[in-house]
């Protein structure tokens, strides 16, 4: 009978609190085991009496007794461990592979023979290097577990690998149990596995490099964003500073004017007080002749200013204020346009290929052969009235529906006086008149009478657009419940349905509007994905071109400022030629 040490390890008899082998092991009612001291300390320091492992609470604190069975297992386990540790300390060669032939003092083995199933030291290995028959034996670096290299069934060398069962086999196995299986020499399979490991190693290293590059890219983006934010903050602060400076200068001007007015008024008061004294004195005089002689000068008003219409006016420069506010508004508009432009570039990465579904098209609609254009005709076509088809409203859906993730597509609306674009639920009504609002499963914007743009929300929302869009982008984030519309050419936001709750598939919807005697004959055209992607490339090219022109101008200006222009022209012409 096998001993307990053959199937038990130190880890299996370890307390989960102190992470050491049990000392006086005790069991809880839930079946878990701990050291008695560890469990008591745990319960003494807690207001709840529960198992530290599964957290089951006990209404009353259990009485702890040593589990004699587990304690006995611990004792059996510790004995061989102690013996092994003591023998290791006494014999430094305990973990070396020793020669199987040496009889007295065992020496270290250099090689192991898979044919002889034995390990040899330098002295006893000599016959395998000299005798021709023994030279054919398969030698490997000395190993302790030679039995693992031998087939347990046929006691032969494991020298083949069965790819069907993914196991090592001997030559006899290939003729019996693994007959007709795909078997190859273990060296060949090992070489392939090594190559695969090398490839995996290279992939992991590449993944590490990619992530390090991503970290650098993110850090660089943070730096650029911080620099741009600081620059834009400085520009905006300068605008506010200019506005504050204007107001402060106006205040200082008003204070200077007030001081001048007060000075003049004080001079007038002094003059009036002098006149008042003269009048008081002359009114009490007995010299009648003198009174008559100076009376004309006293009757004239004193030399003072007329202050009736004088007041301190606000010196706020309204025009300067308007210019500062206008400049601030332009900065805000520019920033908003940048934000929308970046948002549009981001969502264009989710562009999908949309094709019109003829099975859903109203009988008056005319679809192009490539499924990318639709217009409304004047004559009703003879088409089967299937459940998917719009029988009254001149609408058509895209072929593919979307029930998760994000998708984006663009539609050209140039030259039209009426159109409707958006998405609808798969289950929305297609027969008779429809109610275009989110409640009935329709999310779209429309154009009416050439200039009136509406978001068909609940209630309808009239849209004020600075420019008539020629190409409209539609973006849907299914999980976020978002449907957004963009003017692609002007890189501006048109409208967004937010906080929606989608169920089932969503399909792109197109309504080109009635022909109106040819006034609305231009088709709705779905832009291919390649065109959307080329727009992203064009944005990058425009940025590169702007940088190139900037550096080119800087180069020429630097030369012109540092050199005589006339002397430089011949060099420039020769270089240009």
Q: What is the pLDDT of residue 22?
A: 84
Which of the 8 DSSP states describes residue 135? H
567 Rama sector, left if φ>0, alpha if ψ -120 to 50, beta otherwise: alpha
**Percent of the chain predicted with pLDDT > 70:** 81
Query: What SS3 string covers 349-373?
Result: HHECCCCECHHHCCCCEEECCCCCE
For residue 561, pLDDT beyond 90? no
- The helices-and-strands tally (H runs, E runs) of the chain is 9, 21
Dist CA 530 CA 388 (whole Å): 29
Angle at Cα 414 formed by Cα 412 and Cα 418, nearest 5°? 100
Q: What is the pLDDT of residue 551?
A: 47
What tokens were used for 221? Answer: 């983006």
Query: What SS3 string covers 168-181?
Result: EECCCHHHCCCCCC
Instruction: Decide: 412 and 556 in contact? Cβ < 8 Å.
Output: no
Q: What is the pLDDT of residue 252?
A: 83
Q: Residue 320: exposed, middle, or buried by beta-carbon count in 10 A (0-12, 13-18, 19+)?
A: middle
- Average pLDDT estimate for 316-341: 66
155 Rama sector, left if φ>0, alpha if ψ -120 to 50, beta otherwise: left
Average pLDDT in the chain: 80
Dist CA 379 CA 366 (whole Å): 10
Instruction: Decide: 21 and 78 in contact? Cβ < 8 Å.
Output: yes
Cα Rg of the chain, angstroms: 48
What tokens were used for 330? Answer: 């332009």
Phi then psi for 332, rounded to 5 degrees? -65, -45
Strand-pair partners of 173: none
For residue 134, pLDDT beyond 60? yes
Q: What is the pLDDT of residue 575?
A: 32
- Judge if the upstream peptide bond of residue 538 is cis by omega within 30 degrees of 0: no
Instruction: Decide: 420 and 446 in contact? Cβ < 8 Å.
Output: yes
Q: What is the pLDDT of residue 295?
A: 74
- Average pLDDT estimate for 254-271: 84
Name the residue among 354, 437, 435, 340 with its Cα closest to residue 396. 354
pLDDT range class, residue 544, cuts 50, 70, 90: very low
Dist CA 113 CA 519 (whole Å): 95
Q: What is the pLDDT of residue 533?
A: 57
Instruction: Decide: 261 and 312 in contact? Cβ < 8 Å.
Output: yes
What tokens were used for 5? Answer: 């040490």
């Amino acid at each position: 009978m096998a001993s307990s040490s053959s199937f038990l390890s130190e880890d299996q008899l370890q307390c989960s609190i102190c992470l050491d082998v049990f000392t006086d092991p005790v069991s809880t009612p839930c079946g878990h085991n701990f050291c008695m001291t560890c469990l008591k300390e745990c319960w003494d320091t807690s207001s709840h009496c529960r198992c530290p492992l599964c957290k089951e609470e006990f209404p009353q604190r259990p009485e702890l007794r040593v589990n004699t069975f587990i304690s006995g297992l611990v004792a059996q386990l510790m004995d061989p461990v102690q013996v092994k540790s003591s023998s290791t300390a006494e014999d430094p060669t305990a973990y070396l592979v020793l020669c199987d032939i040496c009889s007295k003092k065992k020496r270290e083995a250099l090689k192991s023979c898979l044919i002889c199933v034995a390990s040899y030291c330098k002295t006893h290995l000599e016959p395998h290097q000299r005798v021709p028959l023994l030279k054919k034996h398969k030698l490997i670096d000395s190993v302790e577990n030679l039995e693992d290299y031998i087939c347990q069934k046929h006691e032969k060398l494991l020298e083949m690998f069965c790819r069907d069962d993914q196991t090592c086999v001997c030559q006899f196995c290939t003729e019996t149990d693994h007959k007709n299986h795909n078997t190859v020499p273990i060296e060949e399979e090992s070489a392939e596995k090594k190559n695969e490991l090398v490839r995996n190693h290279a992939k992991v290293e590449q993944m590490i490099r990619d992530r390090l590059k991503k970290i650098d890219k993110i850090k660089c983006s943070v730096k650029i964003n911080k620099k741009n934010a600081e620059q834009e903050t400085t520009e905006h602060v300068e605008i506010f500073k200019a506005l504050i400076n204007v107001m402060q200068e106006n205040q200082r001007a008003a204070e200077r004017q007030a001081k001048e007015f007060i000075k003049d008024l004080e001079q007038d008061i002094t003059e009036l007080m002098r006149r008042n004294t003269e009048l008081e004195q002359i009114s009490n005089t007995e010299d009648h002749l003198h009174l008559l002689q100076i009376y004309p000068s006293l009757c004239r008003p004193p030399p003072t200013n007329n202050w009736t219409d004088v007041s301190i006016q606000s010196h706020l420069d309204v025009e300067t204020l308007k210019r500062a506010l206008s400049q601030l508004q332009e900065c805000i508009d520019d920033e908003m346009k940048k934000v929308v432009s970046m948002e549009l570039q981001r969502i264009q990465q989710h562009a999908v290929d949309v094709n019109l579904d003829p099975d859903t098209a109203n009988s008056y609609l005319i679809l192009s052969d490539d499924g990318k254009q639709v217009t409304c005709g004047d004559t009703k076509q003879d088409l089967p009235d299937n459940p998917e088809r719009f029988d009254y409203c001149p609408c058509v859906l895209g072929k593919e529906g979307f029930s998760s993730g994000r998708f984006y597509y663009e539609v050209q609306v140039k030259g039209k006086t009426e159109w409707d674009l958006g998405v609808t639920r798969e289950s929305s009504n297609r027969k008779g008149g429809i109610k275009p609002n989110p409640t009935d499963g329709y999310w779209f914007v429309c154009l009416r009478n050439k200039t009136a743009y509406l978001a068909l929300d609940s209630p309808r929302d009239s849209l004020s657009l600075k420019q008539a869009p020629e190409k409209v982008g539609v973006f849907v984030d299914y999980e976020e419940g978002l449907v957004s519309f963009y003017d692609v050419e002007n890189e501006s936001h048109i409208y967004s349905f937010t906080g929606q709750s989608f169920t089932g598939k969503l399909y792109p919807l197109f309504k080109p509007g009635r022909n109106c005697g040819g006034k609305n004959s231009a088709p709705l055209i779905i832009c291919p994905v390649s065109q959307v992607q080329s727009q992203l490339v064009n944005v990058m090219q425009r940025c590169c071109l702007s940088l190139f022109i900037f550096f080119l101008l800087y180069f020429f200006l630097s030369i012109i400022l540092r050199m005589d222009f006339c002397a430089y022209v011949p060099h420039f012409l020769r270089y240009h030629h």
